[in-house]
Amino acid sequence: MAGREFGGQPELWQFGRRELLAKGWLEPRDLAWQPDPELRAAGGNDWTAAKNSGWSTIQAEIAELQQLMQDDRDRYLAEIDLQADNGPDYIVAFLGAHTGRYPWTIELINCGLSIGNIAYSFYKAAFKRVRPSFLCPGLAPPFGPPGHPSFTSGHSFLAHLMGLLLLEIPGIQSRYGFFPTPNTGAPGGAVPFVAGPIAVAISRANPAVVSWPGNTLRADDPVCFDLPQQLSSAINPGQIYYVLASGLVPNTSFRFSTRIAGPPVDTSADATQTYVIPQNPLPAGGAFNSPLMWLSQRIAKNRERLGVHYSSDTTGSRHLAAAICYSLFHEADPQKRIVCPMLETVKKRAEAEWPA
C-alpha cells in the first residue's frame, strides 16, 4: 500500500535531469558522466566539451573499478554474494530485529523496499546508463551484471533509503544514529538533513560574478543554480556550470562558464531576481558517522567492488534516497511533500518497538 501511495504521486518525485539538479535531488558530480542532452540541439563547443568531459569521467571511474577489482574483490566476494539478493537481511541482522519482537520495524523496511523499487526503476529507465563491464569487459564480474541499466544503483538506493527510514525512529537513532565528532559518549542523533538551497547574489554584468561567502569551490568545480521566481535569465536552472580560475576569490566569489575554462556567462540582460544554489539533504559523498548508514554505504560500495556499478551510481543513489526521505517526512512545503499515510502509520507503530 505504501508503494501504491508513493507511486500515485509521480509529479512529486519523477523529474528530468535539469529539474533533479535544480531541486538538489542530485549533485552535479552525480551526472558528470552524462553530457546534458539539452545541449545536443545547439551543438557547438558546449556540446563537444560536455561529451569530452563525460567520457573523461567514465574513464576515471572505470580505472577506479579496476583498482577495486585488483585490491578488494577477492576479500569481499563472500559478503558481496550474500548481499546480491539479501541486502535487507544484513540490515535486519545488524539491528538484531526479528518478526516476533519487531514486526512493525520489519514492515517499515518492507515499505522502504516497495517505495524504493518503484523510484529506482523509474530512474534506471530514464538515464539508461550502460554497465561498466560493458565498456570494460576486463572487469569480469563473477556473476551478473544485471540486465537493467546502471544508474541508479538499486542496492545503493535501497540500502540508504532503508537506513534513513529506520533512523526516523528515535530508539534506533540513539543506538545507530549520527554520533558527534569527536565522540563524547552521547547517544546517537537524527539524520543531519540540510534544509533548503543557499541564496547567492549574482551581479547583472558581463562577466557575471557570484557572491557566496564561505563557499569552498575551486577552479573547474561544477555548480548549478535555480531561479525560484522563474524570470528571464542567461542562467538555465539545473544546467551544470563551471567555476572559472579567472576572477576566483577563494571562499568569497567567482565567475562561471558553460564549460571548463570557457567564456564567462553574461547576465547583464537578466531581470532582477533571486538566485539559489541547490543543496541535497545529505550533500557530498563522504563517510557517515552513523553505524547504520555506514552499513548502507558498505552494501553500496560492494557493488562497485563487484564491478557492476560506478562510484557515481553509488553517490547519486544516496542523494536520491535522501531527497525522497526528506520529502516524505521533513518537507515543510505542502506542495512538495510526498504524503504516504500507510508509511506514517507503520513508522509510528515501529517507534513503539524501540523505547528511546
* 285-337 confidence digits (pLDDT tens): 777 899 999 999 999 999 999 999 999 999 999 999 999 999 999 999 999 99
* Predicted local distance difference test score (pLDDT) of residue 181: 85
Answer yes or no: is pLDDT of 23 > 80: yes
Out of 123-127, 155-159, 228-232, 244-248, pick the least confident: 228-232
**Residue 266: other Cβ atoms inside 10 A:** 13
> Is a pLDDT exceeding 80 seen at residue 356?
no
pLDDT of residue 285: 75
Q: What is the pLDDT of residues 196-233, one digit of tens each?
A: 899 999 999 999 999 999 999 999 999 999 999 988 89
Predicted pLDDT at 20: 98
What is the overall mean pLDDT for the chain? 95
For residue 31, pLDDT beyond 80? yes
Nearest alpha-carbon partner for 276 in 196, 213, 335, 218 = 196
139-148 per-position pLDDT tens digit: 999 988 889 9
- Tell me the pLDDT band of 183, cut-offs 50, 70 and 90: confident
